[in-house]
Amino acid sequence: MCLICGWIYDEATGDPDHGIAPGTPWSAVPVNWTCPECGGRKEDFEMVQI
């Protein structure tokens, strides 16, 4: 979950609009990827249980 805006990355969905295919595990998301909602960096995310 993005700590800035609350957007949640779902591995099953990925972020295909920004080059992250569905099924991509969080560990495989590139360090330079940014939150599609607010532009936060990967380091601005924290794992949360849903």
In the chain the domains, ranked by start, together with CATH numbers, are: 1-50 (2.20.28.10)
Tell me the average pLDDT of the chain.
Answer: 96
SS3 helix, strand, coil % of the chain, rounded to 5?
Answer: 20, 10, 70
Q: How do residues 26-49 score in pLDDT, each as one tens digit?
A: 999 999 999 999 999 999 999 998
Say what the pTM is: 0.87
Contact in structure between 5 and 46 (CB atoms under 8 Å): no
